[in-house]
Chain A
């Protein structure tokens, strides 16, 4: 069962045949143990990352090992939102609505480069990281991440849940429910600046110059 592993304080009581009949532990420990071992995922698959997510759930990688085989296609019965793929601005209110419909306790994994930062899609139509829309617990890098990557992210989330405490009300506080971005306005404003290798695209953008390379000819060796 694993209940007696580190942190738990088992005390064996005396049944007539000498077998244990009760044990003691911390409430946080039991709650976190049950939460992290039966995370029901809400798959929000919009692109190729979703293919890897499906592979993760299939028999070869077998998400059932973590109590996650029940993909919950209803947000009301889900604990973990896995956003796998790029999210457009048109899709953003859908993602937010699904997140708002999920009941506490809930967590979110941003799977892949596009969900985490917009990836190569530094363009007019694309959300530059879903953390501007919903709070994210674990970011899984990759384009797309292999199933091992997603599983590693899930195990990181297990570690995070292991450290949570029921006394900490901040963990379950809803953020940005009034139509505002999930991040502070200044932070979202900052992603207006061209990101990563897409700075060369500034040439035709009409945005404020950033000192990036402006002429394609200048980029040549």
Chain B
């Protein structure tokens, strides 16, 4: 425990690329005898798409898939009647530091079958790109924006890939990456000046700004639109 903690701190201090990325992955031990209907079906229907299967915290099944095939696999998991993982509970990412690949995490829930499945895809730090799943779950829109904002992962095909939490004029990078300095890259003076120079309306699209000002959905707009 202690040694592992120290090792993780060393990775933090030295930033990305410190350890050999080839040996490095945060994957846990294989699932052993534990089975999960979703993983079984993936193995049966898709064969090599299951790179790794592990169980965490007793009964939480995690399956690793190749990032290049995420959309087709996730769409299959959602739309196949026997699976029906129709709820995307969360979409996030984990950076373990030390040059290890960044994990994109899809937490799925099948309301019908009362089952959960966590799907992970590992992206090397020098190629942080993956296809967007907004076409599968509309809920992925803001979640992918958040991962883009905080980790710098580009989602191909996302309809509106902008920052969502950090200010629109933020220029210091992606704060949840392990190689990001805790206090940011600019001095406090520069950060304060940039904050005060922020245009308060810049986080919104023109459509969003029109809401309530005679924009879409209001009486005035309906009247004007005929």
Q: Quick check: B194 and A89 within 8 Å, CB to CB? A: yes
* A92 nearest CB neighbor, chain B only: B195
- Chain B residues closer than 8 Å to A92, beta-carbon distance: 192, 195-196, 198
| Contact yes or no, B166 A125, CB < 8 A | yes
Q: How far is it, in angstroms, between the C-alpha of A181 and the C-alpha of B166 when the chains are bound?
A: 20
- Among candidates B9, B165, B182, B200, residue contacting A216 with C-beta atoms closer than 8 Å: B9
Beyond A204-B181, A205-B183, whether A96 also contacts B13 by CB under 8 A is: no
A192 touching B196, Cβ below 8 Å? no
Do A124 and B189 touch across chains, with their CB atoms under 8 A apart?
no
Is A127's CB within 8 Å of the partner chain B?
A: yes
- A134 CB to closest chain B CB (Å) equals 11
Cα distance A92–B180 in the bound complex, in angstroms: 22
Contacts of A201 in B (CB 8 A): 182-183
Which of these binds chain B: A61-69, A144-152, A155-163, A183-191? Answer: A183-191
Q: Is B26 an interface residue (CB 8 A)?
A: no
> Which residues of chain A are within 8 angstroms of B6 by Cβ–Cβ distance?
216-217
Q: Are B175 and A125 in contact (CB under 8 A)?
A: yes
Closest CB in chain A relative to B115 CB, distance in Å: 37
- Is A90 at the interface (CB under 8 A from chain B)? yes
Q: B196 contacts A204, CB within 8 Å? A: no
B167 pairs with A90, CB closer than 8 A = yes
For the complex, is A133 an interface residue (Cβ under 8 Å from B)? yes
Q: Which residues of chain B have C-beta atoms less than 8 A from A180's C-beta?
A: 193, 196
Q: Does B197 contact A (CB under 8 A)?
A: yes
Total contacts A to B, CB within 8 angstroms? Answer: 87
- B147 smallest CB distance to A (angstroms): 17
The reply to whether the CB of B49 lies closer than 8 angstroms to some CB of chain A is no
| B9–A185 touching, CB < 8 Å | no
CB neighbours (8 Å) of B205 from chain A are none
Contacts of B180 in A (CB 8 A): 124
Complex CA gap A181/B194 in Å reads 10
Bound-state CA distance A189–B188 (Å) is 6
Q: Which residues from chain A contact B182 at a C-beta distance below 8 Å?
A: 122-124, 201, 204-205
The winner among B9, B193, B196, B197 for most chain A CB atoms within 10 A is B196
A interface, by DSSP: helix, strand, loop or mixed? loop
**A203 near B189: Cβ-Cβ < 8 Å:** no
Q: Are A203 and B181 in contact (CB under 8 A)?
A: no
Structural contact, A181 and B9, CB atoms closer than 8 A? no
Q: Which residues of B contact A188 (CB under 8 A)?
A: 188-189, 192
Contacts of A185 in B (CB 8 A): 189
A–B complex contacts, Cβ < 8 Å, 29 sampled: A90-B165, A90-B166, A90-B167, A90-B195, A90-B198, A92-B192, A92-B196, A92-B198, A93-B198, A96-B196, A123-B182, A124-B183, A125-B184, A133-B192, A179-B193, A179-B196, A179-B197, A188-B188, A189-B187, A189-B188, A191-B188, A192-B183, A194-B183, A201-B183, A203-B9, A203-B12, A204-B13, A206-B185, A216-B9
A contact residues vs B (CB 8 Å cutoff): 89-90, 92-94, 96-97, 122-125, 127-128, 132-133, 179-181, 185, 188-189, 191-192, 194, 201, 203-207, 216-217
- Given pairs A123-B183, A203-B12, 18 additional interface contacts (CB within 8 A): A90-B198, A93-B197, A93-B200, A96-B196, A124-B182, A124-B184, A132-B192, A133-B192, A133-B196, A180-B193, A185-B189, A189-B187, A192-B187, A194-B183, A203-B9, A205-B181, A205-B183, A207-B181
